[in-house]
Amino acid sequence: MAFTGNFTCNSFKSGLIDGDFDFDTDTFKIALYTNSASLNAETAAYTTSGEVVGSGYTAGGNTLTVSKGITGGTAFITFTDTSWSAAITARGALIYKDSGAAVCVLDFGSDKTSTTTFTVDFPVASSTDALIRLS
pLDDT tens digits, one per residue of 1-58: 467 789 999 999 999 999 999 999 999 999 999 999 999 999 999 999 999 998 899 9
Q: Is residue 2 included in any domain, yes or no?
A: no
Q: Is 1 part of any domain?
A: no
Number of folded domains in the chain? 1
Confidence at residue 4, expressed as pLDDT on a 0 to 100 scale: 77
Residues 6+ apart with CB under 8 A from 23: 66, 68, 77
Q: What is the pLDDT of residues 57-114, one digit of tens each?
A: 999 999 999 999 999 999 999 999 999 999 999 999 999 999 989 999 999 999 999 9
Q: How many residues does the chain have?
A: 135
The residues near 99 (Cβ < 8 Å, ≥ 6 apart) are none
Write out the residue range of the structural domain in which residue 94 sits.
7-134
